Structure 1
Amino acid sequence: MNVITTDVAIVGGGPAGLTAAAELASAGDLNVTVLERESAAGGIPRHSDHPGYGMRDMRTFISGPTYARRLVERAVAAGVDIHTRSMVTGWNGDTSLEVTAPEGRRRIDARAVILATGARERPRPARMIPGDRCAGVYTTGHLQNLVHLQHRTVGRRAVVVGAELVSYSAVLTLKHVGCETVLMTTPYPSPESYAVFNVAGRTPLLGAHVATRTRVTRIIGKPTLAAVEVENIDTGQRRIVECDTLVLTGDWIPDHELARSAGLDMDTGTLGPLTDPAMRTSRPGVFAVGNLLHPVDTADIAALDGRHVAGPVRDYLRGSRGPADGVRLRVDAPLRWISPGIICPGDGPPPRHRLLTWTDTLVRVPRVVARQDGRVVGRRTLPWPASPGRVFRVPSSILDGVDPRGGEVTVSLR
């Protein structure tokens, strides 16, 4: 078996992985290897051909493919070794990876590993939508891969399940190939996306009607999709909507198989590896970043995770192992999860000084409270809403009063 030795191996060539690689390699003192299973690096932005990328990390407003290309160019210019069509299939030690590529099997022996495997949308079987098994049902990622990379078309009338940011990305992709979005469904009382997208969706530009408090209860058609049955959750009333394309958006799950096979401590909320603000996992020398930790946030936030982790990885390679213990963070409903899931004494703040959370209920004026051992250690009223379908950001300063020797901290939303 061919063996490659490197300082840092990064699994995943999306925004988080490529940004981490460029940061670590830029000084010229580290060998950095990126392992990407696709035929080209760049991640999901490669096949998301609409503007809106790069605002936070590159201070620009560009299309997904352009953003992906710039990420790759920066990494290559820094001296990063990018291996495409390279699937990491397992571990050969704490920081040693088994890889399968068209050229054969190889082993990557690294001093540190960064997991940047991202997240994916749950397909139809995982959502348990009954009905006929037929062609014409996609996730957003599948749709955009077909349209923007394979240059294929879809149907003429579409129903989109979801009304969050990625849902409007799907609507734009459908419009690109002349497919009209006749309906968007969401179980929530209001669309999950930002108001500007909701307003734009109702204009002739997109023409997408959002049916709130609804869900798709049956898929109809053989061998191709002909219609879906849509139910009003509050009244139980059902109707048939004719369509030849159904796009299932959102409902994210991290690509966590490699993290699980390593035996890392996992977060039962995010379903990704449990990390601290330095993005250390429970295995020394293994770090995790991006949407593997908080499924799912925007590409530029994932990239800033990659920028943030470079410092802790360098510290580790210099001999720092970080604190042995930390304080566990938990959440109360309607919050579903929080990232990072541990805070450690002596660590700095998480990326952008923000705790990332997810809410199942819309709270327009959220009051966030942190409690430890029965006492309030932090309280903030925030000027931005907590909305389902997108990450809710909480200033990490709410944890400044936490006792590092105390018990678990619970963050709640009122």
Structure 2
Amino acid sequence: MTHQPSPITPDVLIIGGGPAGLTAAAELAGRRAGHVLVVDREQAAGGIPRHSDHTGYGLRDLHRVMSGPAYARHLVQQATRAGAEIRTRTMVTGWADDHTVDVTSPDGRYQIRPRSIVLATGVRERPRTARRIPGDRPHGVYTTGQLQNLVHLHHQPVGKRAVIVGGELVSWSAAVTLREAGCTPALMVSQYPKAESYAAFNAVGRTILRVPVAARSRVTRVIGKGRCQAVEIENLDTGRRRTIECDTVVFTGDWIPDHELVRAAGITLDEGTLGPLTDTALRTSRPGVFAVGNMLHPADTADVAALDGKHVAQQVINHLQGRGKPAGGVRITVGAPFRWVSPQILRPGDPAPARGRLLLWSDEYVRFPKLTVRQGGRIIARRTLAWPAAPGRIFRVPSSLLDGVSQTGGPVQISL
């Protein structure tokens, strides 16, 4: 009969060692919140930036610009110096009870029973199978994460000519990685009237990377047996189809949270983000369990995810000290063309969300969005913003728009 070791009992368990989790760990350990333990299933902590070998990281949180790997190393060092413990190759496989998790690692199977949990498991791109694109199943079909892992961590070759599916910021990151691997990005395919990324990135991508964009188009078939040979694309307006020769296809964006632990725990999900429903203090529906990063807003930049980690620290400390128990709350919802908003609950006495911003996702491009906030059939705020709402990137709205919300007035809706 095998002996079950006693559970480890840290004060805070952070599940996920990406920018959000590591920043939360550094902040909590630095503020003497007790034993702070980070677990991550990968060989090394750092999250997606670890294999995203280009610059642009750290602007909002560190106020400097770094490459992805350098940024990841810095966050690990920051958390470790503050006194947090980091265990890699350590996977949380389930829940033993409401506040105890089962863990598997090279050291064996054991349990962790913390006083508080921060979920920071991040987000992933939907692969080809989840997008239901028919055809053969050849080699040479990746997501951006798989591509960057293969090229930057394992230094493996890819193909010679690629088609990139999607026009988000991460799509241009894929184009950079392909170039570095000696593979020519032949075409970018976007269902929208133009690539979804910021205009500056689109311009740079077209002029420097020389990647043409097939707008209002979709991939309808992958062709090839042992190795990818081509893709078939369709113009969404005319229905015309054509075949593009390529030996590599990269599916980018179309994000979904890594929410398996949330679902297994029975924590309430938001129907828009598919991540956990949270308030502005980043509490989930389970007391003592918080959530941060891109599992809440799939997907924003790494530095914004990191700032969630900084924001949650005081809320976790309040919980550890028996303060900040949630009361009441008003549900925040969205109307078309918005798909979701994060966070989704406004409670009396809670802080403003991280950076004083609500994060939304739009399915349409609107150059000068005129926002309306309604509660109980009454308009409580209107504002025209100077920045566009656009598919494929987060739309940031000042949380002061909700200053007029009544805690007894029912759900709030933000719409155009």
TM-score range, shorter chain: over 0.9
2:137 counterpart residue number: 133
Question: TM-score, normalised on structure 2?
Answer: 0.98
The match for 1:398 is: 401
Matched position secondary structure for 1:37: coil
* Correspondence for 2:217: 214
Deviations 1:241-293 (A, max 9, x none): 00000000000000000011111111000000000000000110000000010
1:18 is aligned to 22
Q: Which residue of 2 aligns with 1:169?
A: 173
Unmatched segments (≥5 aa) in structure 2: none
1:365, 1:383 within 8 Å by CA — same for their partners in 2? yes
Q: CA deviation at 1:323?
A: 2.4
CA distance in 2, matches of 1:29, 1:372: 38
Q: Residues of 1 paired with 2:188 and 2:325: CA distance?
A: 47
Q: Which residue of 1 aligns with 2:295?
A: 292
1:186/1:211 contact within 8 Å kept = yes
Q: CA deviation at 1:103?
A: 1.4
Distance 2:353 2:324 in 1: 17
Q: Is the 8 A contact 2:33 2:317 kept in 1?
A: no
In structure 2, the CA distance between the partners of 1:29 and 1:288, relative to structure 1 (3 Å rule), is: closer
Instruction: Give a deviation string over 1:123-152, Cα, whole Å, max 9, x none.
Output: 111000011111110000000000001110
1:188 deviates by 0.4
Which of these residues, 347, 362, 375, is aligned with residue 350 of structure 2?
Answer: 347
The answer to whether structure 1 residue 314 and structure 2 residue 317 are counterparts is yes
How far apart are 1:7 and its partner, in Å? 0.3
Cα distance in structure 2, aligned partners of 1:242 and 1:24: 51
Do residues 234 (structure 1) and 221 (structure 2) align?
Answer: no
Distance 2:204 2:356 in 1: 31
**Amino acid of the structure 1 residue aligned with 2:52:** S
1:229 match: secondary structure: strand
Between the aligned partners of 1:284 and 1:378, the Cα distance in structure 2 is 32
Residue 282 (structure 2) pairs with residue 275 (structure 1): no
- Whether contact under 8 Å (1:284, 1:321) holds in the other structure is no
User: Which blocks of at least 5 consecutive residues in structure 1 are unaligned?
Assistant: none
* Residue 87 of structure 1, aligned match among 84, 91, 97: 91
- Asked whether 1:121 is paired with 2:118, we answer no
| Matched residue, 1:107 | 111
**Conserved? CA contact 2:327–2:348, under 8 Å:** no
Report the CA distance between 1:380 and its aligned residue. Answer: 1.3
SS of corresponding position for 1:398: helix
Q: Does 1:27 align with 2:21?
A: no
Shift of 1:27: 2.9
Once the two structures are TM-superposed, the CA of residue 161 in structure 1 deviates from its matched residue by 0.3
Question: 1:29, CA displacement in angstroms?
Answer: 4.6
SS in 2 for 1:215: strand
The AA in structure 1 aligned to 2:128 is R
AA at the equivalent of 1:11:
I
- 2:51 matched to 1:47? yes
Name the structure 2 match of 1:143: 147
Matched, 1:58 2:65: no
Q: Deviations over 1:40-73 (max 9, x none)?
A: 0000000000000000000111100000000000
**Paired residue for 1:201, among 176, 201, 205?**
205
CA RMSD in angstroms comes to 0.8
Query: Counterpart in 1 of 2:336?
Result: 333
CA contact (8 A) 2:11 2:33 kept: no
Partner of 2:149, secondary structure, is helix
Alignment partners' CA distance in 1, 2:324 and 2:89? 33
- Give the secondary-structure state (helix, strand or coil) at the position aligned to 1:5: coil
Contact 2:8 / 2:111 at 8 angstroms: preserved in 1? Answer: yes
Using the aligned pairs only, state the percent identity. 63
- Given that 2:51 and 2:149 are in contact with CA atoms closer than 8 Å, whether structure 1 keeps it comes out as yes
